[in-house]
Amino acid sequence: MSLRSSDPFDAYKIYIACKLHFESNTYDYFKYNGKTSVNAKSFFARRDKFFFAKVVKKYGLDELKYFYACNFAHHGTKWIGNLNEEGADETYKEFKGLLESFTYRFKNDIDKIISANDYKSLFVVEDGQHPKLVKMLLQNEIPLETFVVLNRYIGFMPKFDKDITDPIMWPDLSKKIKKYNPFITVNNQKVAEALKDCLQSSANVV
């Protein structure tokens, strides 16, 4: 992929905006269209600017926000040098593969969840502890993306935020889930139909 002279700086701007999106309680990448106060002077003063040239040459500007976002969601906000390592590429490859077949994989995840659990029990918060659904996420029994998209239709996050009293892990996890949500672009109608089918075919349906 050929580079324009402005591409590394544009890659830097997207990086800063995505990083701010995940770290800040108030900044929203999509609300502000990725705009921040960074300038070319600050970019060209960085010693690591060549990393941005490498990453934009590999993925192009259109994909970068998704590359940054899935890595930030799964591994925390990282220095750009770390995002030039093989692990970051693998995370993005898995993210793209998941989205390409998301409805199918989402349906399989939900079938697995509700076949092994009473549906209502997944969302019960007892004595401020993590409910079953959160425990499954923390134990890597369901993908983060499935959890995030499921919340679009069930809307359990407000209840979890209200009832979970864990002051250490949950606030950061809750923030990550909400911040990651707009980067997960799927066919919402097909996913909603898949979820409806799962619930209707389950003996545990509400």
- Residue 124 belongs to domain with CATH number: 1.10.220.50
Kindly state whether residues 119 and 71 are assigned to the same domain. no
CATH code, 40: 1.10.8.60
In the chain, what percentage of residues exceed pLDDT 70? Answer: 96
Q: Which of 60, 75, 99 is the last residue of a domain?
A: 99
Domain extent, residue 85, equals 7-99
Residue 206 lies in a domain: no
Per-residue pLDDT at 206: 44
Kindly state whether residues 196 and 107 are assigned to the same domain. yes
Kindly state whether residues 186 and 105 are assigned to the same domain. yes
pLDDT bucket at 1, cuts 50 / 70 / 90: low
Residue 112 lies in a domain: yes
Per-residue pLDDT at 205: 45
| Segments in 24-101 forming alpha helices (H) | 40-44, 49-59, 61-75, 86-100
Q: Which of 81, 99, 117 is the last residue of a domain?
A: 99
pLDDT averaged over every residue in the chain:
92
Q: Which of 83, 99, 115 is the last residue of a domain?
A: 99
Token pair of 111 as six digits = 């079938």
Kindly state whether residues 25 and 80 are assigned to the same domain. yes
Structurally, how many domains does the chain consist of?
2
Per-residue pLDDT at 204: 45
Token pair of 96 as six digits = 């793209």
Kindly state whether residues 58 and 32 are assigned to the same domain. yes
Residues 170-198: tens digit of each pLDDT: 999 999 999 999 999 999 999 999 999 98
As a whole number of angstroms, the distance between CA 59 and CA 18 comes to 16
As a whole number of angstroms, the distance between CA 175 and CA 24 comes to 9
Kindly state whether residues 185 and 143 are assigned to the same domain. yes
Per-residue pLDDT at 52: 94
Give the three-class secondary structure for 114: helix
| pLDDT of residue 2 exceeding 70 | no
Residue 154 lies in a domain: yes
Kindly state whether residues 73 and 21 are assigned to the same domain. yes
